[in-house]
């Protein structure tokens, strides 16, 4: 079950390694609405919110012209 999904068309993706890339998703945190930092690797993705320390492993898919990010179900505080 997907609780949260967002499509972005403009992202500032920083290549941080041979196979990894980081980008920030403003207001991307479904918990507190803060900026989420997402790291992409060839196998999966990790997200981290510096504001509330929320960590998740979203599913990231590239579509034509954009990026779709789906977070797994998040427990409500």
Which residue number, 21 or 32, has a Cβ lying nearer to Zn ion?
Answer: 32
Those residues whose C-beta lies under 8 Å from the C-beta of residue 46, and which sit 6 or more positions away, are 38, 39, 55, 56, 57
Measured on CA atoms in the order 70, 33, 20, 15, is the torsion positive or negative? positive
**Smallest distance, Zn ion to C-beta of residue 33, A:** 7
Pull the structure tokens for residue 24. Answer: 């920030």
Which residue number, 16 or 27, has a Cβ lying nearer to Zn ion?
Answer: 27
Restricting to residues 9-68, name those near Zn ion by CB under 5 A: 29, 31-32, 34, 49, 51-52, 54
Which residue number, 40 or 71, has a Cβ lying nearer to Zn ion?
Answer: 71
d(Cα 46, Cα 2) in Å, to the nearest integer? 16
Binding site for Zn ion (CB under 5 A): 29, 31-32, 34, 49, 51-52, 54
């Amino acid at each position: 079950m997907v609780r949260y999904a967002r499509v972005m068309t403009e992202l500032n993706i920083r290549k941080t390694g041979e196979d990894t890339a980081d980008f920030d998703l403003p207001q991307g945190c479904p918990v507190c609405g803060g900026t989420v930092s997402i790291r992409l690797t060839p196998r999966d993705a990790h997200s981290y919110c510096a504001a509330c320390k929320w960590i998740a492993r979203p599913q990231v898919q590239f579509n034509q012209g954009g990026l779709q990010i789906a977070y797994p179900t998040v427990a409500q505080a």
